[in-house]
Structures are given as C-alpha cells and as structure tokens.
C-alpha cells in the first residue's frame, strides 16, 4: 500500500503581475509548508503571477483595441515563465532541497502566445512536467492559447500517481476519463477560486476517479491587485485604470479562496477555507481509496470498454514543421 501523503495548498495572494516578487513569495510559502510536513504543495490556477482578474470584472476588458487591455497583456507576457528559464529552474531547486512535490499554476509564454500552464516539480527531476489548459473558458480566450494532448500527463511519486487539471477542464468528461485512465491516486484541481460549483466538481472528480483531490484557490483583495501592479514601477496609467475600474473598494475580496482537500469518497479531509489567507493542509488515508474501488473503478470493472472507447491524441500540435535532407 502507498504511504499516506500530506497535501498542502498555499492560499495566498501573489504579487499581482510581478513575477520576480511572486517567485520570492512562492519560495517562502513552499519552504514553510515543507517544514510543516507537506509532501505535495499546490498553488491556485496561474498563481505566477496571478489570475487575469480584469477579464472577469473590468467593464472594458473585451473592447477591441483597448489601450488598457493591450498594456495589461504586454505586462503579463513580460512577467510570464518560459520553459527552461531561471524561474522554473529555481522552483526545481526548491523541490530538490525540500523533497516536496510542487504543483504551480503559471502563465507560460511560448513564442508570442501565452498559455495557462501547470508545472509539476518532482524532487530530483531534471525539469518539471507541464500541463497546458486544453480550453480557456470564455473571456480567458482573450489572453491564452489552447493546449494539446501532449501535456495531458501525470508523474510518479512515492505516494502514487499525481496529476492535475485546470478549472473548467473538470467539466470536460473526456479529459476526466483520460486522466482517470492515467491511474491518478492524487489529483490537484486548480481554480482561481473554489466556489460552490467548483467544490461540486472537485468532490465529483474525487468520487469518480477514486483519488484524493486538492482543490486549490487563491485569495486576493482589490488592494492586493493594485499594489502588485504598482510594485512593477511602470508608467502605464491606462492599464492601472482598467484594474481600478473593477467594482469594489480596496478591501473588497476579488477572490475569496475556498481551498479544500477531499478524500476518494467525496468527503472533506480539510474543509474549505474562505475569506482569508492560509495554508490548507491534510493527510490522505490511501486505504480509503483502495476500498472505494470495490464499488467503482471507472478505468476498470466499471468502464465497459466493449461499449465505450476513447482515443487521446498525445502528439504536439504545431502549425509549421521543418525538415532537412
């Protein structure tokens, strides 16, 4: 039987839009969680350097050729990670130092396109395992490209197989089926906030997949967002004006957390934490997961492969290929 892992979710505000400052904060949070006994440490969706909240709340976010929207996109691109860069190498070093698995939500830049990408850092690995969000939701398509099946991956840990999906991917039945077929024992469900229906989806995923789920959300006030932006020390008044146009006062919670840890039977190991910062932590009893498979195993005795079949294309999708002699 696998060891019982301790999961931790860092429910803290990043230094919004400031990648360098968010990296410093991430290191502190990770090392503190590891010292507190966490084996797997998760952050919310695109925590580095913050979910693009203006898409949801700024009235002019989707206007064509808007100067504020363009400036925010440029600043976000300038503060996004790139595969192989110093930021990802630093997180890999932290994983090596602490012995903890780190699941970090990022904005990833590849060429001139941004992706909503989760990187899983395994202690001793040469590089992290990426997962790009397959389908950005609604206004998210204004800033992110679509991932493909080449990053629908899991990693091996001493506690079992670890995987992740991002936000509304948990409402893509075939994506869920593909990840269940990977044999997940532990799943990180990343959200910007884990509100009621996100709790439902996370608990359903745990029950359906017979796996523990860490539902990770963030907490940010309007002041956190504006202070993070100002920490960039850039003269971008139209970008700041778009952030300021979001409703509410400085102390208004734009994201209110909701992080929770869920057992394979859908029950809470650690109840949701709303309205405040903190580290949500809990230890998974792996015996419950094995017992739960007596009645339901969607990739085994409950799968009916004679009736249903799913093909997953794991080839990277590129628009141009070059070949030589």
What is the pLDDT, as a whole number, of residue 321?
Answer: 87
Calculate mean pLDDT across residues 247-258.
96
Please identify which of the residues 45, 108, 169, 184 carries the catalytic annotation.
45
Whether the per-residue pLDDT at 143 is higher than 80: the answer is yes
What is the pLDDT, as a whole number, of residue 324?
Answer: 84
Asked if 167 is an active-site residue, the reply is yes
Calculate mean pLDDT across residues 128-132.
98
Half-sphere exposure of 115 (CA within 13 A, CB side): 20
Pick the CATH number of 6-292 from 3.40.50.10240, 3.60.110.10, 1.10.3720.10, 3.30.420.40: 3.60.110.10
Whether the per-residue pLDDT at 267 is higher than 70: the answer is yes
Calculate mean pLDDT across residues 78-101.
98
Q: Domain coordinates of the chain in residue numbers?
A: 6-292
Asked if 293 is an active-site residue, the reply is no
Omega of the bond prior to 60 within 30 degrees of 0, cis?
no
Please identify which of the residues 108, 133, 140, 211 carries the catalytic annotation.
133
Please identify which of the residues 46, 140, 167, 211 carries the catalytic annotation.
167
- Please state the separation of Cα 209 from the chain's center in Å: 18
State the average pLDDT for the chain: 97
Whether the per-residue pLDDT at 318 is higher than 60: the answer is yes
Whether the per-residue pLDDT at 124 is higher than 90: the answer is yes
Give the contacts of 144 (CB within 8 A, at least 6 positions apart): 114, 115, 116, 133, 136
Asked if 133 is an active-site residue, the reply is yes
* Beta strands 129-132; 113-121: pairing state: antiparallel
What are 179-220's pLDDT values in tens digits?
A: 999 999 999 999 999 999 999 999 999 999 999 999 999 999
Calculate mean pLDDT across residues 45-64.
97
- Smallest CA-to-CA distance from 109 within 131, 69, 79 is with 79
Q: How does residue 319 score in pLDDT terms, banded at 50, 70 and 90?
A: confident
What is the pLDDT, as a whole number, of residue 2?
Answer: 72
Calculate mean pLDDT across residues 5-15.
98
Whether the per-residue pLDDT at 3 is higher than 60: the answer is yes
Q: How does residue 325 score in pLDDT terms, banded at 50, 70 and 90?
A: low
- Give CA angle at 310 (304, 315), nearest 5°: 155
């Amino acid at each position: 039987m696998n060891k019982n892992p301790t999961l931790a979710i860092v429910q803290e505000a990043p230094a919004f839009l400031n990648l360098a400052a968010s990296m410093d904060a991430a290191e502190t949070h990770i090392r503190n969680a590891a010292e507190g006994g966490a084996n797997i440490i998760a952050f919310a969706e695109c925590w580095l350097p913050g979910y693009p909240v203006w898409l949801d709340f700024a009235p002019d976010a989707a206007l064509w050729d808007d100067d504020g929207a363009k400036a925010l996109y440029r600043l976000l691109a300038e503060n996004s990670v790139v595969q192989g860069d110093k930021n990802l190498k630093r997180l890999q070093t932290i994983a090596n130092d602490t012995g903890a698995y780190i699941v970090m939500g990022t904005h990833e830049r590849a060429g001139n396109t941004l992706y909503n990408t989760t990187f899983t850092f395994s202690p001793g690995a040469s590089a992290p395992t990426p997962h790009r969000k397959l389908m950005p939701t609604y206004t998210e398509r204004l800033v992110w490209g679509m991932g493909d099946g080449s990053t629908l991956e899991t990693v091996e840990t001493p506690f079992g197989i670890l995987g992740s999906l991002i936000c509304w991917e948990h409402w893509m039945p075939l994506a869920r089926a593909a990840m269940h077929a990977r044999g997940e024992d532990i799943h990180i469900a990343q959200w910007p906030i884990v509100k009621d229906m996100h709790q439902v989806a996370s608990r359903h995923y745990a029950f359906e997949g017979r796996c523990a789920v860490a539902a990770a959300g963030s907490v940010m006030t309007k002041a956190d967002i504006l202070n993070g932006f100002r920490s960039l020390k850039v003269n971008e008044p139209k970008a700041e004006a778009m952030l300021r146009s979001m409703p509410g006062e400085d102390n208004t919670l734009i994201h209110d957390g909701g992080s929770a840890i869920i057992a394979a039977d859908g029950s809470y190991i650690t109840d949701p934490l709303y309205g405040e910062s903190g580290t949500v932590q809990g230890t998974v009893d792996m015996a419950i997961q094995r017992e739960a498979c007596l009645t339901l195993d969607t990739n085994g005795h409950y799968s009916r492969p004679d009736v249903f079949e799913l093909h997953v294309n794991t080839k990277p999708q590129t628009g141009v290929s070059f070949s030589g002699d």
